[in-house]
Structure 1
């Protein structure tokens, strides 16, 4: 059974991308999702939130050279886990889920269901049983 208290933040300029990613989480019964469209909104929610985000999923292009996302998430106690996707565009090295780093970088243009399931298995181990039903 998923931990419905997980706080998830999705940051991408494209409304369609935010919607697709949010639907992947919803498909896996995660509904505490906050989508934002710009870097300033993401930073505001992270920095001034009363509790940390369990996961931030962010498009690397959102920072557009204004912020080193990798360092930001590695040093930020308000974010427990982060996925930076479309990292190739930002010339970030790929950092896979194994051996379960706090911050992962994917060169995929968008995270897919398998990527989200892999993240949730790390963040919410109780979700693994449910996610196995969606595998395939």
Structure 2
């Protein structure tokens, strides 16, 4: 069963990409999604201790104009539990799971394929065994 309380932050400069990924997550029954288009918005939304995000899905070059190492920012950001990075159009993706002290990394395929997000969400929000 889907944890409907999970908070997800989507970050990509292109509005169409945000809507597309949000719709894929909606099909997986995740609805607490905040789409943003700039790194400044990511910083603003993740700087409040009352606003913990369970997952940040972010295009990896979003912070390049600010000369910020986005991977390092996310590893040290206490209000982001998990981060899914992707680069477009190269199709290289990485996942940082857990706290900065105990992060695991992995690679997934294209986020535009709903199966990728399904795999990602099964890692972040594993199904509960009802047996």
Q: Scaled by the length of structure 2, what TM-score is found?
A: 0.79
Equivalent position of 1:122 in the other structure: 123
- The Cα offsets for residues 22-51 of structure 1, whole Å up to 9 and x where unpaired, read as 001000111000000111011100112513
Secondary structure (helix, strand or coil) at the match of 2:57 reads strand
Q: Report how far residue 119 of structure 1 moved.
A: 1.3
2:77 is equivalent to residue 53 of structure 1: no
Q: Which runs of 5+ in 1 are unaligned?
A: 130-136
Q: Which runs of 5+ in 2 are unaligned?
A: 98-102
Higher relative contact order (CA 8 A, sep 6+): 1
Contact in 1 for aligned 2:83/2:95 (Cα 8 Å): no
Q: Scaled by the length of structure 1, what TM-score is found?
A: 0.76
Structure 1 residues 80 and 103: CA distance shift in structure 2, 3 A: farther
2:73 is equivalent to residue 75 of structure 1: no
Contact in 2 for aligned 1:46/1:78 (Cα 8 Å): yes
Aligned residues: 123
Structure 1 residues 6 and 102: CA distance shift in structure 2, 3 A: farther
Bigger proportion of residues as strand: 2
